[in-house]
Structure 1
Amino acid sequence: MRPALVLCLLLTMMTPTTIARNASNPHPPATASTPVPPPPAWLPALDARYDAELRAAGLDNRVFTAEHWWTVATPLLERARGFHVEDIGRSVENRPLRHVRWGEGTTQVLLWSQMHGDESTATMVLADLFRFLGEHPDDPQVKALHANTTLHVLPILNPDGAARFQRRNVQGIDINRDARMLATPEARTLKALYDRVKPMYGFNLHDQRVGYRAGDSDRGTAIALLSPPYNHAADVNEVRTRAIEVTGVIRTALEPYLAGHIARWDETFDPRAFGDLTTQWGASTVLIEAGGIEGDVQKQRLRKLYFLGLVAALDSIATGSHAGVSPALYRELPENGDVWPDLLVRNGTLSVPGRPPTKADLLVNFRNPLAETEGAIAGVGDLGNMKARRRIDAQGLFIVPLPGHAGERTVIEANDDSDNDEPPSPLPLTPGASARFALSRDPQGRDVVWTLDGSVDPATPSPPAR
């Protein structure tokens, strides 16, 4: 058949919908067919050494203040070990913002963490990285990094938010949406450091909501990656090519541990976001997001894997080994999919004093989803088609509010920049109210089989089997 005729037939088969979809998505999802290479040969040994030799002590709980973190990190940052620490700014509440410099190489690398105050995994990882660099100068990876790169680190960019374990700074501003306006002192400090060091590479270190799924699967996203775009077309230039290669290195390092649980963010350009603008300004920027691993309540297992992925990325920059890594390792990752809520209580009967009994399901989201603490009602009604990270069957049971109910604001989780959260509710068992109820065999709540008093009791995470 003649090539011209084949082309005509193909064009005829493409519906307007197909053409429009392809035009609006310059990078359609690739088929997952590229084999993932084995991780670096040195990585298993680094993994084996982590707990005894590399993990910084004193960070067992992922909720901590900047003051506590600096108490842990400062002894690791001795000048004799090659570290230089300086105050370069102040937060709104006058907490210090510090720049840690290490290495003597010509390739400048800028890393910043916790610009969202409730996203602390990478800040724990940075303490581990400082211990690795300072206590193991003869390690081949440390030698290569020291000789070929200079690392510039700004840990806990949002110390006021960290003090409250909240996303935004004390002014209520999302620092990661302040790269253009630079209204906050924290954003101005990061931009000034960027202008000063003119990095070739950047690492924007975050956490994301635990409920994200990898693509359309039921698998939770443990690590999400992104080479942020520098324009609305999500074009790929030399700067982004390097970043995409580095994300492929991270995937390669973590695939043996997290296969099926690594995703990537969509490439929608945001002219207010730091990662997008640092890419636009010329730094090959990589976004790393820590999601969650079920049962890893304080994200300590994920902390180790994040550390391994970050070291692999830095090593590939120091050695140049990321050059030529297939972009398919990045492109073929599933995008972050739906966000599954935390807890769905199915088939119960609401029993609220002064109201008639009502058959309804109840949806709960927690401020800390892995620990299931500080829950708030997120939905009421027929929720049978809704997916959730955990389900409880309350068939034959009454859902009875606990005495002393107080309405509270539905929490905004890590990496949820939506402003559509529910307002405070003065009524029990309604969206926006505190999740305080009992599952009872009787409507008065005298024969209780399970209680949720805001937070799940680890001793009785679910009702007993019936």
Structure 2
Amino acid sequence: MQPFNLDYSTIKEKTVTGRYVTNAEVDKFLNLHSKEFKIEEIGFSVLQKKIKMVTIGSGPKKILMWSQMHGNESTTTKAVLDLLNYLKEPSDLAKTILKECTLKIIPILNPDGAAAYTRINANEVDLNRDAHDRSQPESKVLRTVYDAFEPDFCFNLHDQRTIFNVGNDQKPATISFLSPAHDQERSISKTRGISMQLIAAMNSLIQKLIPGQVGRYDDSFNHNCVGDAFQMLGTPTILFEAGHFEDDYKREHTRMYIFYAMLKGVETIAKSEIEQYPQHMYLEIPENSKLFYDILIKNVDQVVPHLPKNSDLGILYKEVLESNTIKFMPFVDKTGDLGDYFGHKTYNCLEENDAEIVKSNKKLMNSIR
């Protein structure tokens, strides 16, 4: 299936790939297309790195997007560049979007965190817990743009860890969505309901591409979270969480699905089709669970005899920045009976071939010992 009759490879921004995405890569893209978009410097980070914003379209329906609020969450930044590539090329849908909508997109809100590949900013503050206090320059930049633009919709773009599955199924949450709460009771206001309907529209497409791999993120209320704060201010806000797809640790497949979801969302807004998607379609999306390990080793005592009999190991990867490359270093998160968990890769050491694979993997064995 090719949504929107589109060959994705023709609009994918191939100069920006992998997990390590910084101002340097994005600036090259923006400089190359400076005549096609309106590009503004809207402020500076703690370490005085520039924060830039792209404006495209001239329509009355206003959409604000921001990515890499957490510096090590870059998948949606890549998808945003793909979306810009799509919108600058002639097509009936692109023309409709640009006529009906004005999009303001901040590709990297936290450039210091992006450069250091950390969730937090240079003052060690999580910007997604700073919406109320606005103690950080990056938080002030976002709120200044929000207040001046007065968006009709907000897309809050993030990555999530590989631990998430959908419901109780052995399927990764490749994309998770959330219509953030606006009060402690998590009631459904008019604007929160609109967010739910827009997510239902996006889910209706993504389910055709990756059935069963869309989850619903936890909606616990926190007034210091940006999505909750903007929902409280009466703006329908959607949280996107880019997750894991099989063997896709660089998140190039996930990036494509995020692009399709964003395009479907913007199309639905542009064509005023939100009412076609009732709220119950959002509530029917299964909630995320945290039942995945990057590697699950069953009966590991067969290769590491000092461990208790019938022991399982749940191994996760720590993402480490080395020489501008992200390396995935295994570490043991949990030992014991892990019969209720899943592995993106699973080895059962009662099987001779699996036992040999585990024993021959030096990084894996070092993490176990």
Q: State the TM-score, normalized to the length of structure 1.
A: 0.71
- What does 1:168-207 align with in structure 2 at a 5 Å threshold? 168-207=120-159
Corresponding residue number in structure 2 for 1:43: 3
Q: Distance in 1 between matches of 2:119 and 2:156?
A: 15
Q: Is the 8 A contact 2:359 2:365 kept in 1?
A: no
Structure number with bigger Rg: 1
CA distance, structure 2, for counterparts of residue 256 and residue 214 of structure 1:
16
Query: Aligned runs of 1:311-322 on 2, under 5 Å?
Result: 311-322=263-274
Are the equivalent residues in 1 in contact too, given 2:157–2:241 (CA < 8 A)?
yes
Alignment partner of 1:116 out of 70, 88, 102: 70
> Which residue matches 1:253?
205
Aligned partners of 2:362, 2:328: CA distance in 1, in Å?
A: 10
Task: Give the 3 Å change call, closer, same or farther, for CA 372–284 of structure 1 in structure 2.
Answer: same
Match of 1:66 in 2: 23
The alignment yields a C-alpha RMSD, in angstroms, of 2.6
Alignment correspondent of 2:330? 375
Instruction: Give the Cα–Cα distance (whole angstroms) in 1 for the partners of residues 303 and 287 of structure 2.
Output: 41
Specify which structure has the higher proportion of helix.
Answer: 2
Q: 2:86 is matched with which residue? A: 132
- After superposition, the C-alpha distances for 1:382-417 in whole angstroms (9 at most, x for unaligned) are 3343513133233599xxxxxxxxxxxxxxxxxxxx
Counterpart in 1 of 2:317? 366
How far apart are the structure 2 equivalents of 1:132 and 1:105?
Answer: 17
Structure 1 gap ranges (5+)? 1-38, 398-438, 442-447, 457-466
The offset of 1:455, in angstroms, is: 10
User: What is the correspondence of 1:23-34 to structure 2 with a 5 Å cutoff?
Assistant: none
Q: State the Cα deviation string for residues 409-428 of structure 1 (Å, max 9, x = none).
A: xxxxxxxxxxxxxxxxxxxx
Map 1:75-90; keep pairs closer than 5 Å: 75-76=32-33, 78-79=34-35, 81=36, 83-90=37-44
How far the C-alpha of 1:351 sits from its partner, in A, is: 9.4
Whether the aligned pair in 2 keeps the contact of 1:103 and 1:146 (CA below 8 Å) is yes
Correspondences of 1:384-399 after superposition (within 5 Å): 384-389=338-343, 390-395=345-350
What's the offset of the Cα at 1:330?
0.5
Amino acid at match of 1:316: T
1:277 and 2:229 aligned: yes
Could you tell me how far 1:69 is from its partner in structure 2?
2.1
| Identity among equivalent pairs (%) | 27
1:177 deviates by 0.7
Equivalent residue in structure 1 for 2:249, among 281, 285, 297: 297
1:93: Cα distance to partner? 1.2
Q: Matches of 2:361 and 2:112 in 1, distance apart?
A: 34
- Counterparts of 1:199 and 1:449, CA distance in 2: 55
Report the residue type matching 2:148 in the other structure: R
Pair 455,108 (structure 1): closer, same or farther in 2 beyond 3 Å: farther
SS in 1 for 2:275: coil
Q: Is the 8 A contact 2:291 2:340 kept in 1?
A: no
**1:184 and 1:449, CA in 2 relative to 1: closer, same or farther beyond 3 A?**
same
State the distance in 1 between where 2:273 and 2:237 align.
Answer: 17
Tell me the CA shift for residue 74 of structure 1.
2.7
Cα separation, partners in 2 of 1:98 and 1:455, compared to 1, 3 Å: farther
Structure 1 runs (4+) greater than 6 angstroms displaced: none
CA distance in 1, matches of 2:201, 2:158: 18
Q: Distance in 2 between matches of 1:272 and 1:195?
A: 17
| Structure 2 unaligned spans of 5+ | 321-325
Quote the Cα distance in structure 2 between the aligned partners of 1:244 and 1:351.
49
Give the Cα separation in 2 of the matches to 1:348 and 1:199: 53
State the one-letter code of the partner of 1:453. K
CA contact (8 A) 2:64 2:105 kept: yes
Q: How many residues align?
A: 356
Aligned AA (1:367):
K
The answer (yes or no) to whether the contact 2:303–2:349 under 8 Å persists in 1 is no
Q: Deviations over 1:332-357 (max 9, x none)?
A: 000011242222333334999xxx93
Amino acid at match of 1:394: C
